[in-house]
Amino acid sequence: MREGWLLTLGGGSGQRRCRRGLLQPAARRALAWGLALELVRIGLLAQETPPADSVQRLQEELRQLRQQFEQVQREQGEQIRALERQIESLRAAPPVESGAPSEPGAPPSPPRAATPPSAEPATAAPAPADSNLGVSPVPPAASWSPTQPIPVIQSGQAYMNLSFKMLGTVGASTASDASEELELGHHDPAGRGFTLQHGELALDGAVDPYLRGFANIGMSIDPEGETHVGLGEAYLLTTSLPANLQLKAGQFLAEFGRQNTQHAYQWDFVDQPLVLNRLLGPHSLRNPGARLSWLAPTPFYTETMLGVFNGEGHSAFSYRAPGDEATHGRTPLDRGLRGPGDLLFVPRVATSFDLTDTQTLVTGVSAAFGPNNSGEHARSEIYGLDWYWKWKPAHAEHGFPFLAWQTEGLYRRYEAGADPVRGLPAEDLEDWGLYSQVLWGFTRRWVAGLRGEWVDGNAGAHDALDRFRGERVRISPNLTFYPTGFSKVRLQYNLDDGDRFGTEHSVWLQGEFLLGTHGAHKF
């Protein structure tokens, strides 16, 4: 039964189709899968201990299958060789336009009329087997027009793009457990040895003529070996609202500053910048909500955005987040949403200028206002300033060389409520910090980076036990090699200095791969 199916695919439709364009990929895939499945099935059957006659039967089946496989292989080999010969002959004596001289020195024939000449559409009509590779000129059908779709298209036929990315590190640190004090981000290296930082399944596509949809399913493995799967982002984006408006809705990374919207595999360094880790949180600022954006009719790019979120959960660290780490020692309240004033509001204005033909600057101001879980009426506010400057010469090869400078500075005022049980007073905790990084793509495939960071804050009652406060400085040089756009290897050294732990040194080696559709690069 299955062999019959196999034969039909391999010898039947495959043979018919390969007159045009070798063998259709679907047929080839089906053939490969069919063979693989059959071999696996036979393998599985062979593992049991069947009676002797069934062994014989299976051997016979295997022999037949082998014969069929070899026959198909032989046939296809012949077809490939025939096609190669055709290509050779076509290359040696290329098709000559009917409107052009066929021999050197022959008088040019008169120009042809306005009908689309030599359109060469690979029409669906079967073409003579000896001439059509989808390359030789086919006389244009009179009714043909360029707006007709052509059937040679092979991709773009799925309704969505699909990709899987995996990011991991191996490293060592003078700190016995880097995840205790040094690397507090959710996707940061977890300490000595190997860390699978992040796996991500990403889907995107047009929902209908008005909406695009995006989803990222994040995966990680914790030190106990448990795999955690989470919906990182899932949102829709409008494409056709009037007045230059755009709406984004769902669960997504808030547009605060520059790096918060990036996923771990897009970061230029192995770990999350300290100031983002402390103020926007180890999981980045990401929540269910909606964002309205307006592209201003100015001569230069100006985008004004307002995001509105629930502001609740692990990924709303400075707001209504669970756990007493987020509340700086206070027993976290479970504040519900009492009204619109309890939502998290994230406004942002970004603008960009092309300083010269080869230099671009993007700069923005962001803020985030919302209640926090440390007191009944406690609120947090964060303000941020960011800029990104990039130089890339007009003759760049594969995007190299380039020089990019990125800086973000943030300030937060956290109204911490009183917790008499734990002996903590009501106080205003102020935290601030910045990171600044330079990326130099000095030659094709290679990028050298240097990042400097500093975070600090005012004194608080819980500081002695609070790893998310106190002064810290970190210097991180790194070097990244991109074999292609689909993989990278990165070596990074961190010199860490903090009030709570003194000086520590860490070295991380990071690797990434991407399968499937490569999303376009945002600037």
Partner 1 sequence: MNPSKRSFLRRAGHGMALLAAAAAFASPLVNAAKLKVVTTTADFAAIARDIGGDRIEVASLAKPTEDSHFVDAKPSLILKLNRADVLIEGGAELEIGWLPALMDSTRNPRIHRGSPGNVLANEGIAMLDVPAVLDRSMGGVHAMGNPHIMTDPVNARILAEHLARVFSQLDAQSSEFYRANFQRFSDELDAKLAEWQQRLAPFKGRRIVAYHDSWPYFARRFGLRIDLFLEPKPGIPPTPPHLAQVIQTMQQEKINLIFVEPHLNWRTAETVARQTGATAVLVSQFPGGVKGTEGGYIPLIEHLVDTVAKNLKAP
For residues 83-102, which are near partner 1 according to CB under 8 A? 91-97, 99-101
Considering the complex, state which of residue 120 and residue 181 has its C-beta at the smaller distance from partner 1: 120
Rounded to a whole number of angstroms, the minimum distance from the CB of residue 352 to partner 1 is: 4
The answer to whether 47 contacts partner 1 (rule: CB under 8 A) is: no
The answer to whether 152 contacts partner 1 (rule: CB under 8 A) is: yes
Q: Kindly indicate which of the ranges 6-14, 104-112, 260-268, 430-438 contains the residues binding partner 1, using the contact rule CB under 8 A.
A: 104-112
Report the distance separating Cα 272 and Cα 283, nearest Å.
Answer: 10
The answer to whether 108 contacts partner 1 (rule: CB under 8 A) is: yes
Rounded to a whole number of angstroms, the minimum distance from the CB of residue 255 to partner 1 is: 12
Residues 346-405 that bind partner 1 (CB under 8 A): 350, 352-354, 357, 360, 362, 390, 392, 394-399
Considering the complex, state which of residue 310 and residue 363 has its C-beta at the smaller distance from partner 1: 363
Report the distance separating Cα 518 and Cα 23, nearest Å.
Answer: 26
Q: Of these, 6, 10, 19, 23, which contacts partner 1 (CB under 8 A)?
A: 23
Q: Of these, 68, 179, 246, 266, which contacts partner 1 (CB under 8 A)?
A: 246
Q: Which of 259, 340, 349, 260 is nearest to 305 (CA)?
A: 349
Q: Of these, 244, 331, 458, 503, which contacts partner 1 (CB under 8 A)?
A: 244
Considering the complex, state which of residue 44 and residue 243 has its C-beta at the smaller distance from partner 1: 243
Quickly list DSSP for 94-158: ----TTS-SSTTPPPPPPP-SS-TT-----SS---TTT-SS-S--PPPTT--TTS--TT--SS-S
Strand 502-516 vs strand 227-238: parallel, antiparallel, or unpaired? unpaired
Question: Are 434 and 451 in contact, with CB atoms under 8 Å apart?
Answer: no
Rounded to a whole number of angstroms, the minimum distance from the CB of residue 171 to partner 1 is: 28
Amino acid letter, 262: Q
Judge residue 246's burial from the number of C-beta atoms within 10 Å of its C-beta, 0-12 exposed, 13-18 middle, 19 or more buried: middle
Tokens of 82: 């025939």
The answer to whether 193 contacts partner 1 (rule: CB under 8 A) is: no
Rounded to a whole number of angstroms, the minimum distance from the CB of residue 84 to partner 1 is: 12
Report the distance separating Cα 288 and Cα 400, nearest Å.
Answer: 38
Rounded to a whole number of angstroms, the minimum distance from the CB of residue 32 to partner 1 is: 9
Considering the complex, state which of residue 28 and residue 413 has its C-beta at the smaller distance from partner 1: 28
The answer to whether 120 contacts partner 1 (rule: CB under 8 A) is: yes
Rounded to a whole number of angstroms, the minimum distance from the CB of residue 77 to partner 1 is: 14
Q: Of these, 12, 25, 126, 193, which contacts partner 1 (CB under 8 A)?
A: 25
Residues 408-467 that bind partner 1 (CB under 8 A): 444-445
Residues 291-350 that bind partner 1 (CB under 8 A): 295, 300-301, 303, 350
Q: How far is CA 320 from CA 185, 306, 331, 381, 467, in A?
A: 18, 19, 12, 12, 19
Beta-strand ranges (E) seen in 355-471 are: 359-371, 379-391, 402-416, 427-443, 446-457
Q: Kindly indicate which of the ranges 70-78, 141-149, 312-320, 374-382 contains the residues binding partner 1, using the contact rule CB under 8 A.
A: 141-149
Q: Of these, 47, 49, 155, 176, which contacts partner 1 (CB under 8 A)?
A: 155
Tokens of 111: 């120009």
Size of the site for partner 1 (CB under 8 A): 86
Rounded to a whole number of angstroms, the minimum distance from the CB of residue 263 to partner 1 is: 14
Q: Kindly indicate which of the ranges 4-12, 204-212, 217-225, 419-427 contains the residues binding partner 1, using the contact rule CB under 8 A.
A: 204-212
The answer to whether 75 contacts partner 1 (rule: CB under 8 A) is: no
Strand 193-208 vs strand 344-354: parallel, antiparallel, or unpaired? unpaired
Q: Of these, 58, 62, 75, 117, which contacts partner 1 (CB under 8 A)?
A: 117
Residues 6+ apart with CB under 8 A from 48: none
Rounded to a whole number of angstroms, the minimum distance from the CB of residue 349 to partner 1 is: 13
Residues 6+ apart with CB under 8 A from 505: 173, 174, 493, 494, 495, 496
Strand partners, 360: 354, 390
Considering the complex, state which of residue 24 and residue 179 has its C-beta at the smaller distance from partner 1: 24
Rounded to a whole number of angstroms, the minimum distance from the CB of residue 82 to partner 1 is: 15
Judge residue 192's burial from the number of C-beta atoms within 10 Å of its C-beta, 0-12 exposed, 13-18 middle, 19 or more buried: middle
Residues 253-282 that bind partner 1 (CB under 8 A): none
Strand 245-253 vs strand 227-238: parallel, antiparallel, or unpaired? antiparallel
Residues 6+ apart with CB under 8 A from 419: 329, 330, 331, 374
Considering the complex, state which of residue 348 and residue 390 has its C-beta at the smaller distance from partner 1: 390
Considering the complex, state which of residue 117 and residue 322 has its C-beta at the smaller distance from partner 1: 117
Within 10 angstroms of residue 245's Cβ, the number of other Cβ atoms is 12
Q: Of these, 313, 401, 452, 519, which contacts partner 1 (CB under 8 A)?
A: 519
